[in-house]
Amino acid sequence: MNKIRRFLLNIKRLNQNIPIQNIKSFSTPQVSASVLRLDTLHTIISGNKWYKLKFYIQEAQQQEASTLASFGGPYSNHLVALAFAAKQYGFKSIGYVRSNENEPLTPTLEEAVRYGMELKRIGRTQFQNIKEELMHQNIFHQDDHSKIYWIDEGGYGALGAKGAATILDSIHSNENTNSITPEMIRIPFTHIIAAVGTGTMLAGLIQSAASYQQVIGIPVLRNEGTIENEIKALLESSYNNNNNNTNNSSRSNSSSRSRSSYRNSSSSSNSNNDDDESNYNSHQKQFTLLHDFHLGGYAKTTPAQIKFMNQFWEAEKIPTDIVYTGKVFMAVDQLIKNNYFPANSNLLIVHSGGLQGNRSLPLGTLNF
C-alpha cells in the first residue's frame, strides 16, 4: 500500500472514532457539557487542521498543482499541518512567514522545514501586502515552472469552511463514545462552542449546525471590529457557491480569495445585487461571538489561565493549549458559573487541537 493511501485510510479510520467526552466538572443540575476530542484525530494534523485543509488539497489535485503555498506567523500550526499534508500527498510546499530572515527559527517552523516546507520570511510590515499580491496571481514554481496552489493564512476561505462543516458529521457516525452513554448522545446538543481565529472553523460549524443549535465562538484575538464580518463573508461566499454551481473553476470564484477581498466582495455584491443579498440574508444562520475571553490578545496568557488549564487537566485529563482551547474551556467554565446558559442546556465544546502551541512555555509550567 502506498504512503498516500495509508495516510488517507488512517485519517478515515480516526475520523470515525473521535471520542465525545462528558465534562463532569462542568456539569450542573441545569447544564451538561461534553467535548468533541478532535485533538485525538492525528498527532500532526490534529484538531481542526485536517478538516480545513482537505478540500483545498482536493482542489489542488484537480488543478494538477505541484506546490501548496500558504502564509502564517512563526508559531503557525497551520503551516506545520500544511507541510505535513503536502508531503503525504506528494506536493512541494512553501510557507511565507511573518518574520525576518535574521530571527532564529521557532520549533514550529523547524518542524515545517523537517516536512520539506521551503520557508520565505517576508517580514512583518509588508506581510499583508505581499500576501494580497501573491494570492491574486497565478505564480509558477521557480525551479520547475509548475503550478502553485495558494491557501490563505490559517486556511481561511470557503473551502476551509466547507471542510469544517464536516466536523459535526463525526458525532453522527460516532459509536465509540468515551464516558458518554447512548442516551446522552441522543439528547441533542443545544449549543456548539469553539475557538475563533480566522473564523473559518466557526463558519463551517454554523453551516452544519441544526437550526435549534446555537453556535458560540470565542475569539482568541482582539478583533471585535472585523471578525464578525469576516465570518459573515465566508457564509455568504459558501451560500453563493452552493447556489451557483455553473462555475467550477474556483480559482476565479470566491472560494480562494483572501480575507480583505472577501470584505470587498461582500460590500460590492451588496450594492450591485439586492436580490442576491436578501436571498442570502433569509438563509443566514445566527451565531454569537463572545469577545471577553481573549485575555489580552493572540497567544497572550495569564497565571489564572495556566492555573485553570492545570486544574482542568487534573479533573478531566483533557490537555488544552494556551492559544485556543485553554481560553475556550476557561470561558465556558465562567459562563456556566455566571448562569449564562438556560436550564437543560447540553453543550458540545469542540477541542480543536493546537497542543503544539504549549511548546513555547517554560518547562514545568503545565502538568501535562
Binding site for ligand PLP (CB under 6 A): 47-48, 77-78, 154, 195-202, 324, 352-354
Output the nine-digit C-alpha cell for 18. Answer: 473521535
Smallest distance from the beta carbon of 305 to ligand PLP, in angstroms? Answer: 15
- Report the alpha-carbon distance of residue 253 to residue 231 in Å, rounded: 17
Smallest distance from the beta carbon of 74 to ligand PLP, in angstroms? Answer: 14
Whole-Å CA distances, 320 to 15, 246, 351: 20, 43, 8
Shorter beta-carbon distance to ligand PLP: residue 19 or 357: 357
- Report the alpha-carbon distance of residue 146 to residue 142 in Å, rounded: 8
Smallest distance from the beta carbon of 57 to ligand PLP, in angstroms? Answer: 16
Asked whether 187 and 180 are in contact (CB, 8 A), the reply is no
Shorter beta-carbon distance to ligand PLP: residue 96 or 324: 324
Shorter beta-carbon distance to ligand PLP: residue 147 or 263: 263
Using CB atoms, what's the residue nearest to ligand PLP? 354
147: Cβ contacts below 8 Å, ≥ 6 apart: 63, 64, 65, 66, 67, 138, 140, 141
Smallest distance from the beta carbon of 331 to ligand PLP, in angstroms? Answer: 13
Strand, coil or helix: 197: coil
Smallest distance from the beta carbon of 199 to ligand PLP, in angstroms? Answer: 5
Asked whether 86 and 114 are in contact (CB, 8 A), the reply is no
Residue 10 gets which letter from DSSP?
Answer: H
- Report the alpha-carbon distance of residue 156 to residue 200 in Å, rounded: 5
Strand, coil or helix: 65: coil
Shorter beta-carbon distance to ligand PLP: residue 48 or 88: 48
Shorter beta-carbon distance to ligand PLP: residue 108 or 266: 108
Smallest distance from the beta carbon of 52 to ligand PLP, in angstroms? Answer: 6
Shorter beta-carbon distance to ligand PLP: residue 148 or 164: 164
